[in-house]
Structure 1
Amino acid sequence: MWKPDRDSNKPIYEQIADYLERRISYGEFPPGSLLPSERKLAEQLGVNRSTIIAAFAELRSLGIIESRTGSGTRVNKTKWGATPKHTPNWRRFAEGGNFLPNLPFLRRIREALIQNPTLIDFASGELSADLAPTKEIAELMNNYEYTSYLGYDNPQGSTLLRQALVEYLAKYRGIQTTESSILITSGSQQSLYLITQCLLSPGDAVAIEDPSYCYSLPMFQSAGLRLFRLPVDAEGAQAEDIRALYKKHRIKMLFLNPNYQNPTGAVLSDERRKQFLDVTSELGLPIVEDDPFSLTSYDGEAPLPLKAKDSAGAILYIGSFSKIAASGLRIGWMVAPHSIVERLADARQQMDFGLSIIPQQVAGQFIKSSYFEPHLDRLRMELRFKRDLLIEALEQELPSAAQYTIPQGGLHLWCKFNNQINDSKLLDESIKKGVVFVPGSVYGSDSGFVRFTFARPKAEDIRLGISHFSKAIRELDLNV
């Protein structure tokens, strides 16, 4: 967010007047639209209300805005002179379209982190900078001779990266595939977007876990899909629930996150895995398997994906580097029948003509290098250490206040607080105290659940963050 420059020789009220005039001229505030109140603007820009009053006075003198008692301050409909000029109502466009915005809680968290980067972040589902293989990738980039061709690449993604992934998937995930059955995407989210937009139609019924990361993605609603939930317990979802949903709603596709499920951390039991494969095979029902966390398994024994047992070719398997290396590389992949890969590659080419070549080459080199396994070992050790710090902090700051199952992999701790919690009030109070988290209702749960991501904050900040969180709870007198 823009802020006035307090070191500038130009008075702050003039800076604010110029800033507002630019926003008006860009069409962000169309003619006749209501400007934020003086008090609201003062809070947003961190200035006294008198400074905003002076800025408004400057704009009124130029005929750009007009104020009326009881009606607020509006942009003058003829602000540029006697002849009216019509600016498109961009706000109406921004509120239109078929693609829905992020959920209000997620927008609130994002805005809070932008406004105050010092917040202790238990919300962002990514690795902290010290967990990323920054030095290793820099070394590879210094020593690797990259292709001289910097044009559009294969719509399926870099051939070299797909070849490297064939070896990676066989070695680490027990998946036998070929490069022609792999599509490179800009992370798991783009894989899900392509599936919802290209393989499903408005009105189709799909099954997702409850709670589920998928529930937090408005792209499912934007695609017009009907969502039906599969309750998740300590052993994951239950396959028998699929039969009832299929019979009643004609479920067309199933979305599962079997290993260290987001947000609960649950691992689908061996018995339930077999049941899911049997039931979906019987019904001819495809599974979308999202597997971002398996290699974070703290004991180094990563559970195999469902795809490793997929003899019928019924599973679309999604993976990513975001949770095991660096989200900024924007490298993900999908393993699917070649006809599906071709369909989605064609759609993705219409969107962006393919991914950047250089990150793909970096990723391909990294997973083939001698750096990869030592990085995974260090990552697992550090994540386990941070998990233990978080649990210790909760036990000390909020003893007996919450129930949780200690995860054996992944980045998250899923907590159910014993007393009723107002998600909105608790999030707002926590932000005031200096910490952010994700309320459980974002994932479809009732209020009272919280997801803490321990991979993002620094180790030394975890105890302090939980201390801030406990103060927010006590401020609201929740009697935990």
Structure 2
Amino acid sequence: MDWKPDRQSHLTIHVQIIEWMKTRIERGDWTVGTKLPTQRKLAAQFEVNRSTINLALDELKADGLLESKVGSGTFVANNSWNILLNKSQPNWQQHIEASIHKPNYHTIQLINEFEQKDHIIRLGTGELSPELLPTKKIERSLKSLSLESRAIGYSEPQGSKKLRSVLCEYLKKRGIDTAQENILIVSGALQALQLIAIGLLEEGAIIFQDNPSYLNSIHPFQSAGMRMIPVQRDGNLPDTLRIAKRKKQSLFYCVPTLQNPTGCNWTIGERQTLYHTCKQLQIPIIEDDVYHELLFEPSSSPALKSFDQSGQVLYVGSVSKTLSPGLRIGWVVAPQSVIQRLADIKMQTDYGSSAVSQEIVAQWLSSGLYESHILQLREQLKLRATFVENILEEQFKHIATWKKSEGGFYIWLRFKEPIVNKAFFLNLLKKNVLINPGYIYDTSDLHHIRLSYAYASLEELTVGLNSLIEVIS
């Protein structure tokens, strides 16, 4: 050992000695159980007083790196390496716990984890089965797709002009008259909500929503410091909104067509009441309309956006529930100033949605491929819904209630007894059956599960529902 402390250093002598000894342990020069030289020898080596050595050793003992054995001397402690490793790394857990974005419910984390496992029967998944995706048709359309070099580079801040132009025509079928300048292409509807949360609202803003609500299973607004307030769409709606709003910024999030998770549809009267109430109180509306194309029967219920003449409604659409979630393409229709603000934030986060995906969606919407696919998809989903409803009628009518599905993916199954708790969820998971329990959409709900007929095969649906009966019994 020829090292000596640097007397010109800004560090004190005893601190330099401590750091030198730590380095010996970290590098493995002093392994666990190594006996250190005597204090006298160390003092002579470092040309310091024994009191300085004693001070350094005491601190290292207090940190758990060294230990004394009476009559034997000082040794490297058994757990010294782990202690040094932990101290040399950032405290990531502290960073995580102090971060802005809130962790999701443990149940949802488990759902996200187990949805990736092939042996799991997914009774709650909110996506299409691979067999319902038009994989071969998309593959054929890719071969016929003519791509310009510019088209597959970074797109404009608001997204592909071609796709926005196509959407202007397509949205007319929904009663929405808009222009390219009022459309932003986003990477799915969830990104639209995230951009709105951080781009248009202040901390502490109020987000009104139906109860139960899909928003409770994700945290785009909660993580931005906003308050979620469930409301009932009844005759007291104006007073409820007026009282809750007070002086805080607010917004109403809704899924009027095939609501998630209940699958219900608002009446024309309910849509008009909400729109006019929010307009009177100057509360903007987010209309999440990602399921409307999956209604089994033609509906006269218009989009809230079709009423809108003043930019009251921020309209969100997507092809994730109808064509392919992997394309990650959705859109927001809103006043131009709002679109420009959201586009600016989007460019700061991902520099634009996939250019190739935008080309595919533009081709499908403009060529008739999309509408043809939707017609077939509705029929397939209707068959699946009927299949599940027949099983429910045979096996569940004495323990649960439900409404016949009007379209989309879900049946909101209500058990007569409050049995849908975390233990119930985990017991089913042990049987390789994954459900979406009602408490992830409303923390007080122990009666419901969101039963999806869109993902699992007919055979899996049968096995999964049988397992559900077994766990209840």
Please report the TM-score for the alignment, with normalisation by the length of structure 1: 0.78
Who is 2:347 aligned against?
349
- Deviation, 1:279, is 1.2
Secondary structure of the equivalent of 2:411? strand
Instruction: State how far apart, in whole Å, the 2-side matches of 1:122 and 1:379 are.
Output: 19
Larger radius of gyration: 2
Please say if residues 300 and 377 of structure 1, whose CA atoms lie closer than 8 Å, have aligned partners that are also in contact: no
1:316 pairs with 308, 314, 317, which one? 314
- Deviation, 1:389, is 1.2
Please say if residues 239 and 272 of structure 1, whose CA atoms lie closer than 8 Å, have aligned partners that are also in contact: no
- Deviation, 1:78, is 4.4
Instruction: State how far apart, in whole Å, the 2-side matches of 1:422 and 1:379 are.
Output: 31
Deviation larger for 155-164 or 439-448: 439-448
The answer to whether structure 1 residue 471 and structure 2 residue 470 are counterparts is yes
Q: Which residue identity is paired with 1:363?
A: V
Secondary structure of the equivalent of 2:185? strand
Residues 303-326 of structure 1 deviation map (CA, whole Å, 9 limit, x = unaligned): 421111112221000001011111
- Deviation, 1:240, is 3.6
2:411 pairs with 389, 407, 413, which one? 413
- 1:268/1:387 Cα in 2 relative to 1: closer, same or farther (>3 Å)? same
- Deviation, 1:82, is 9.3
Who is 1:234 aligned against?
none
Who is 1:191 aligned against?
192
Secondary structure of the equivalent of 2:221? helix
Instruction: State how far apart, in whole Å, the 2-side matches of 1:85 and 1:192 are.
Output: 39
Who is 1:127 aligned against?
128
The answer to whether structure 1 residue 285 and structure 2 residue 283 are counterparts is yes
Q: Which residue identity is paired with 2:186?
A: T
Please say if residues 289 and 315 of structure 1, whose CA atoms lie closer than 8 Å, have aligned partners that are also in contact: yes
Please say if residues 174 and 304 of structure 1, whose CA atoms lie closer than 8 Å, have aligned partners that are also in contact: yes
Instruction: State how far apart, in whole Å, the 2-side matches of 1:433 and 1:82 are.
Output: 43
Please say if residues 228 and 245 of structure 1, whose CA atoms lie closer than 8 Å, have aligned partners that are also in contact: no
Who is 2:457 aligned against?
458
- Deviation, 1:283, is 1.3
- Deviation, 1:84, is 9.2
- 1:83/1:123 Cα in 2 relative to 1: closer, same or farther (>3 Å)? closer
2:111 pairs with 92, 109, 112, which one? 109
Secondary structure of the equivalent of 2:90? coil
Who is 1:442 aligned against?
440
Alignment length (residue pairs): 394
1:153 pairs with 148, 155, 158, which one? 155
Instruction: State how far apart, in whole Å, the 1-side matches of 2:202 and 2:436 are.
Output: 30
Please say if residues 78 and 85 of structure 1, whose CA atoms lie closer than 8 Å, have aligned partners that are also in contact: no
Q: Which residue identity is paired with 1:418?
A: K
Secondary structure of the equivalent of 2:405? coil
Deviation larger for 277-286 or 174-183: 277-286
Who is 2:365 aligned against?
367
- Deviation, 1:102, is 1.7
Deviation larger for 454-463 or 238-247: 238-247
Who is 1:33 aligned against?
none
- Deviation, 1:437, is 0.9
Instruction: State how far apart, in whole Å, the 1-side matches of 2:201 and 2:294 are.
Output: 31
Instruction: State how far apart, in whole Å, the 1-side matches of 2:424 and 2:460 are.
Output: 20
Deviation larger for 79-88 or 148-157: 79-88
Q: Return 5+ residue gaps in structure 1 as ranges.
A: 1-62, 64-74, 232-236, 475-480
Instruction: State how far apart, in whole Å, the 1-side matches of 2:466 and 2:416 are.
Output: 18
- 1:278/1:145 Cα in 2 relative to 1: closer, same or farther (>3 Å)? same
Q: Which residue identity is paired with 1:129?
A: P
- Deviation, 1:281, is 1.8
CA-atom RMSD, angstroms?
Answer: 2.2
- Deviation, 1:422, is 4.3
Q: Which residue identity is paired with 2:335?
A: P
- Deviation, 1:110, is 2.1
Who is 1:216 aligned against?
217
Where does 1:237-248 land on structure 2 (aligned, <5 Å)? 237-238=233-234, 240-248=236-244
Secondary structure of the equivalent of 2:210? strand
Please say if residues 433 and 471 of structure 1, whose CA atoms lie closer than 8 Å, have aligned partners that are also in contact: no
- Deviation, 1:77, is 5.9
Secondary structure of the equivalent of 2:252? strand
Please say if residues 420 and 438 of structure 2, whose CA atoms lie closer than 8 Å, have aligned partners that are also in contact: no
Who is 2:33 aligned against?
none
The answer to whether structure 1 residue 140 and structure 2 residue 145 are counterparts is no
Residues 113-141 of structure 1 deviation map (CA, whole Å, 9 limit, x = unaligned): 34x42111012211111111212211111
Instruction: State how far apart, in whole Å, the 1-side matches of 2:86 and 2:279 are.
Output: 65
Who is 1:304 aligned against?
302
Please say if residues 319 and 333 of structure 1, whose CA atoms lie closer than 8 Å, have aligned partners that are also in contact: yes
- 1:193/1:81 Cα in 2 relative to 1: closer, same or farther (>3 Å)? closer
Instruction: State how far apart, in whole Å, the 1-side matches of 2:144 and 2:334 are.
Output: 33
Aligned-pair identity in percent equals: 34
Please say if residues 205 and 249 of structure 1, whose CA atoms lie closer than 8 Å, have aligned partners that are also in contact: yes
Who is 1:16 aligned against?
none
Deviation larger for 179-188 or 213-222: 213-222
Please say if residues 204 and 225 of structure 2, whose CA atoms lie closer than 8 Å, have aligned partners that are also in contact: yes
- Deviation, 1:83, is 9.9
Who is 2:387 aligned against?
389
Q: Which residue identity is paired with 2:292?
A: S
Please say if residues 156 and 352 of structure 2, whose CA atoms lie closer than 8 Å, have aligned partners that are also in contact: yes
Instruction: State how far apart, in whole Å, the 2-side matches of 1:455 and 1:92 are.
Output: 40
Q: Which residue identity is paired with 2:167?
A: L
Please report the TM-score for the alignment, with normalisation by the length of structure 2: 0.79
Instruction: State how far apart, in whole Å, the 2-side matches of 1:161 and 1:302 are.
Output: 27
